[in-house]
Amino acid sequence: MKNKRFEGRSESFFQKRSDTVTDKELAEFIREERKFWDSACTAETIRAESDIKKNKLVYFHYFGMVDHYRSNLEMNELLKKYNIEVDSALTYCTVPSELQNCYGQIMDNEIKKRFGEKFTDSLRQVAEIHYVRKNPDIIYPFEECDFNSRYPGDKNYSDFFKNSKKDFWNNVEYPSDFEFRKNKDLYSHMSANFILYKTGKISDIKTDISFKNKKNYKYSSYFLNQLKEFVQNTKWVPAKKMGIPVNSEMEMTVHFK
């Protein structure tokens, strides 16, 4: 899907470096840019209203500074059932939101007017479920999954950050000559990254450690082995996406005293 609305404009005035132009020139650039977007919005509004009268509806997939979805193809198939066409558009962080893709904004309002405020959100949920079920072997980034804890026994997601660390230190002792931090602003930490499968199995454990006090590096192997053993012996709860168990990336970080 391509959006040819601004194919002829190679660079936004707002993207010019401020240190290469005077304040007066920059103000003029901004005025010209605003005039362009005002004009584009007016033209798109007229076109959208005309298309709506012809019973043409268009749903837009947005790219740029917005949430991205894997299920766009599944969403397109669902929209076809309602005779809604599909297009795409970029979003710009330097352009007022009310002037971006005015055609799409008007179409979105018309779709909500005809089908309900939550219509597209409901379709998106169905599309996401279809995508997850059609792609059972994908390994999802942690942030794409539902915000449920992966640690056994937790009641909510926030519990993970305290319970896993507490249980780790309950079974790991500091060496007698370990040098604890004196400056509370300087944190030392170690982390384990691994793949957590929907079966509960884990693989590809990678560990890393960072000490502010260089003298503590002599204990790197000791602490990393303890962390790896903890990860391997924990019965992790598989991640979920749209309520469906999935494979996911996982990270556990532990800070030192």
Return the pLDDT at 20: 67
Contact criterion met (CB below 8 Å) for 166 and 154: no
Pull the structure tokens for residue 15: 């993207």
Instruction: Report residue 61's pLDDT band, with 50, 70 and 90 as the boundaries.
Output: very high
In the chain, where do the E strands start and end? 57-63, 84-90, 139-140, 189-196, 202-210, 239-241, 244-255
Q: How confident is the model at residue 37 (pLDDT cuts 50, 70, 90)?
A: confident
Q: 195-207, pLDDT tens digit by residue?
A: 999 999 999 999 9
pTM for the whole thing?
0.78
Residue 186: per-residue pLDDT: 67
What is the rounded distance in angstroms from the CA atom of residue 211 to the CA atom of residue 180? 10
DSSP annotation of 220:
H
Find the range with the poorest average confidence among 11-20, 176-185, 232-241: 11-20
Q: What is the mean pLDDT of residues 81-90?
A: 96
**Which of these ranges, 39-43, 76-80, 153-157, has the smallest mean pLDDT?**
153-157
| Average of per-residue pLDDT across 115-130 | 97
Stretch 93-122: mean pLDDT, rounded? 93
DSSP 31-63: HHHHHHHHHHHHHHHHHHHHHHHTT-EEEEEEE
The predicted model gives 29-55 an average pLDDT of: 89
